[in-house]
Structures are given as C-alpha cells and as structure tokens.
Amino acid sequence: MANRIRALWREGQAAINGWLAIPSGFAAETMAQAGWDSLTVDLQHGVQDYLSAVACFQAIQPHPVVPLARAPWNEPGIIGKLLDAGAMGIIGPMIDSPADARAFVAACRYPPLGRRSVGPIRAGIYGEPGGYLATANEEILVIPMVETRGALEQLDAILDTPGIDAVYVGPNDLGFALGFPPRLDREEPEMLRVYERILEACGRRGVIAGLHNAEPAYARRMIAMGFRLVTLQNDSTLLLKAARAVVRATRGE
C-alpha cells in the first residue's frame, strides 16, 4: 500500500489534489479519470457522509489516485472509520494548538505512535494479509490544517509535533481570522507574508505545506513558492463552471 504522494514529495514534486464535495461514487469515478494525483473526500464542508465517502473510495480504487479525506472535526471515532474505509491520509480541520495536533496524530497512528484502534475493515483487504497493519504508520498521511489565529500563534509548536507529515492552509478561514473577507486565491501582502512564514517554518523541519486554490495559474504560483500539495476548487464548483460555460457559449454570450 505504498502512498504515491510520499513518492512525489521525496522527488521534490507537488501533488495536484482534487476535492470531492458531491456524495456520489460515480462523480468520484469520473474525477478519478482526470489526472489528479490525489482526491480528497470532504466530510467537513461538503455534503458527504460516511457511506458516501466509502463509495467514493471504492470508485477511486481502480485508478492511480491516492484517496484522502478531510474529517469533519478532530474526533478520533470518525478519523479511525475514514482510515478503516481506505483513506490514505487525513486532513484535520481547526487544529489550534500543539495539544490538538497531538490528539490528531494519535487518532491517525497505530500504537506505539498513536491510539488508533485495529480494525481496517475495508483498507486491510487489499494487498498481502497483514500488510496494511505493517505499513499503515509509514504510509498514512497526517495533515493538520493551519487556518486559525491560534494555529499561527503556535505554528512552531504544532510543526514540532511528532508524526505530522504536512500542514494544509485553508485560505478562507485563515484570512477571515486575520480580518480579511473569505476567499481562496489571496493577494493581500499580509497573507502572502503569512504563507512565506509557513513555508519557511515547514522547510526547516522537512514538513510539506499544502494550500487550497481556485485557479490553475495561482496554484502554479504557489508551487513555485514552495507548496507541495495544491488543491483546485472542488467537483461541484468545477461542474457548475463547466455547465455555465456551455450554456453561455450556446447562447452566444
């Protein structure tokens, strides 16, 4: 169960991540054919639930795409279930402190590195018998979000938490917390300086930095800046944009 995202990062490359808000295995199957390196099932702000997440993981499975999930909260029960269902990494929202980060890592890692309970009901049926348990702690990605004032104030301590592989910047919440309107592709000098600070702190520790983006050109800029996990919008937004473009073009607008 080697995680292809880890391989990309070892080579210094960025992973291009898709985002699944639509609770549909068919939508996930369609997205999985678009060339993404990974697809994240969003249980925080999407309309996904646990069973729709399982269906999405099943749809992604035949394709060379790494299945990830954003948990609805830093709660070990749902984090463990998402990993048991086949997620190869968890993005954890609203991580405000080192204590939050430690709890998040513990929910994602088996002992002795954490407190995850053994029972990979779906994830464990692939590959060699027992292979999942032997490699899960090495391959699963633990990705807390940096999206609050508290996270920025305690950034170094959060990044020093053993077991963290990457952090994921949420521009909407982070900008909102710092007094700016929510939006994705931020251009405020203050926000860009925050990004630089996060990248510098991650670079000193060998931690990957990720970022949610709206437009491909902005995502390319962020890759050049140093981000190594870039997400583009989500499936529902992409569907709406494509549908609007087709309708407008047909009307000659």
CA triplet 207, 58, 117: central angle to 5 degrees?
A: 60
Distance CA 205, CA 111 (A): 24
User: Is residue 63 annotated as part of the catalytic site, yes or no?
Assistant: no
Residue 21 CB partners (closer than 8 Å, separation 6+): 42, 45, 46, 47, 48, 234, 235, 236, 237
Strands 229-232 and 141-146: unpaired
Active-site residue identified among 4, 45, 115, 122: 45
- Helix (H, G, I), strand (E, B), or coil: what is residue 7? helix
Residue 236 CB partners (closer than 8 Å, separation 6+): 21, 22, 46
- Helix (H, G, I), strand (E, B), or coil: what is residue 18? strand
| Residues with catalytic function | 45
